[in-house]
Structure 1
């Protein structure tokens, strides 16, 4: 049970990009890694006679120094005429902040700290203060926003950085190669998924984030290890089981989105060309994965060996 809660909290760094973009602006820069380490994340391909679509699982937060953008991943990217990610080009704070204000801030009603159980309030307010967020601001956060940002900030303080994440590298490479970049979703959509959750589910996200602050970096390191070694099965077990503990969260944040993306991929096969699709690694792992959704739609995916 405890492991699942921690995995669920860490999952946002493998599922969602917009919360990480907001956390990046609020957090201190991590120290640089001492040495480069090799990583070989999983890569899949979907093909027909005139279309090739690569599927690559991203991690929105990584420690500097992990070498993953090489070998088959780089070859697939270079061979692609366009890049498709969750949100398109990496959103900056000017893009994220209006959506955050719309979907994540409550300008009236009881302060968030008063809604929390009494034994969680001090830890929450201290964590926000340590991140430079005054209580008057933190108290206006919706529970989902407070929970996702606390999870992200905990990982950033442990040395994981959005600037070192996969999307940042892919976006920069696409711009350098003048490849078009598009998104499967918008920032408003991603925030809207959380905003639509019942308050009880949102409060669960927040209290889990508070409870796991000390343990989350170690649990997240296990997820990164599975991703870096290309062990999609282990990644799915570590991450998605925590989400499935709450069927509502699993449906909204994982299964429904994967089904929509599978529909997009199937439709995209009707247009010739080569596309590099990069989405959160959790979406390409487990029984509700994009690959499983494609199989149900009679579309075959193949793991690229390298």
Structure 2
């Protein structure tokens, strides 16, 4: 459950986005021009960009646009092949090997629910459990938000607009970095996390809606609390691997980047809040970070 991608309800965008505090200004600490930090939603409609006050102005004023990765590179055939190589299960640790018969039956039911009567665990056997977890998280969120268009992904759209305006596009990670974070734990750990998602499937839609409302209202702390909720599968190891360590690495890069140019930084909104989130870490570096009203 903790890996459920944040979900958005289209009808709520126009009524809630006006209150969002997803865009933050970074200033002080000797900066000549402010930079900006924007929390994205990986399956949000791109229309949200026009609903966040100050976003278009921030993008226009920035010299560079940085994201988690350079999306055009991450979506290339070469990068997709790298991901497949990380996501492939060892021959002696396929899903049908590491899961019990009862677990396979439970996973089959959830897969059929979202993907149709022909879907089965056997079809996904060559993949690591973490990859199946990721696929399942996506279809769960898309079931709550059926109008998501993968061809118009928010992070990619921001970088696309930046590139069209002649701005330098950069990323804090490579596809290898993300794959190591997603697929680097032991097979049995991944299998346990996958089955936890299966057990929590009935809560998926409700959790996706709660996350959507928190995102659109700019309530970053509520988003983080939902993502890290132990009852929904959150734990310290996941937070450290998927959020905290990456945030610390990114801030080290930002420390060298921000003094050189005005940068629009657009990364997943879950990376912003908390004591180990980007907002707090940047403040500890001496920057003033405040919401753009």
- Does the alignment reach a TM-score above 0.5? yes
Q: Give the 3-state SS of the residue equivalent to 1:276 in structure 2.
A: strand
1:186 CA drift (Å): 1.2
Give the 5 Å matches for 1:75-154.
75-90=57-72, 91-92=74-75, 94-106=77-89, 108-128=91-111, 131=115, 135-154=121-140
CA distance in structure 2 between the aligned counterparts of 1:240 and 1:73, rounded to whole angstroms: 28
Aligned residue for 1:9?
Answer: 3
Q: 1:163-174 maps to which residues of 2 (within 5 A)?
A: 163-174=151-162
Aligned to 2:42: 60
Of the three residues 250, 260, 285, the one matched with 2:249 is 260
Q: Is the 8 A contact 2:23 2:52 kept in 1?
A: no
Residue by residue, what CA displacement relative to the aligned partner does 1:71-122 show, whole Å, maximum 9, x if unpaired? 2122111111221000112433624431222111125114303422433312
Give the structure 1 partner of residue 206 of structure 2.
218
Q: What is the CA-CA distance between 1:187 and the residue it aligns to?
A: 1.3
- How many Å separate the matches in 1 of 2:160 and 2:124? 33
How far residue 55 of structure 1 moved from its aligned partner, in angstroms, is: 0.7
- Give the secondary-structure state (helix, strand or coil) at the position aligned to 1:221: helix
Q: Is the 8 A contact 1:232 1:284 kept in 2?
A: yes
* Offset from partner CA, 1:252-284 (integer Å, 9 cap, x none): 11111111111111111331x211001110000
Q: How far apart in 2 are the matches of 1:197 and 1:146?
A: 14
SS of equivalent residue, structure 2 residue 275: coil
What SS does the corresponding residue of 2:3 show, helix, strand or coil? helix
Stretch of structure 1 that moved more, 250-259 or 35-44: 35-44
Q: How far 1:204 moved relative to its partner?
A: 2.5
Matches within 5 A, 1:276-295: 276-295=264-283
CA contact 1:223–1:238 (8 Å) conserved in 2: yes
- Per the alignment, do residues 181 and 283 of structure 1 end up closer, same or farther by CA in structure 2, a change over 3 Å counting? same
Shift of 1:54: 0.7
Measure the CA separation in 1 of the matches of 2:103 and 2:39.
34
CA 1:127–1:187: 2 relative to 1, 3 Å = farther
Divergent runs of 4+, >6 A? none
In structure 2, do the counterparts of structure 1 residues 156 and 143 end up closer, same or farther at CA, with 3 Å as the change threshold?
A: same
- Secondary structure at the counterpart of residue 269 of structure 1: helix
CA distance in 2, matches of 1:244, 1:119: 20
Separation in 1, partners of 2:282, 2:40: 19
Q: Whole-Å Cα distance in 1 between the matches of residues 151 and 217 of structure 2? A: 21
TM-score normalised by structure 2 residue count: 0.83
Counterpart check, 1:304 vs 2:291: yes
Looking at structure 2, the residues matched to 174 and 255 of structure 1 have their Cα atoms a distance apart, in angstroms, of 27
Residues 25 and 37 of structure 2 are in contact (CA less than 8 Å); yes or no, is this contact kept in structure 1?
Answer: yes
Q: How far 1:56 moved relative to its partner?
A: 0.8
Residues 35-92 of structure 1 show CA distances to partners (whole Å, capped at 9, x for unaligned) of 8624134221222332422111111012576565542122111111221000112433
CA distance in 1, matches of 2:11, 2:259: 46
Structure-2 residue corresponding to 1:209: 197
Kept after mapping to 1: 8 A contact 2:70/2:171 = yes
290 and 33 in structure 1: CA distance in 2 versus 1, 3 angstrom threshold:
closer
Unaligned runs of at least 5 residues, structure 2: none
TM-score by length of 1: 0.80
Does 1:44 pair with 2:30? Answer: no
Q: Which range moves more in the overlay, 245-254 or 89-98? A: 89-98
Query: Which segments of 5 or more consecutive residues in structure 1 lack a partner in the other structure?
Result: 1-5, 15-31
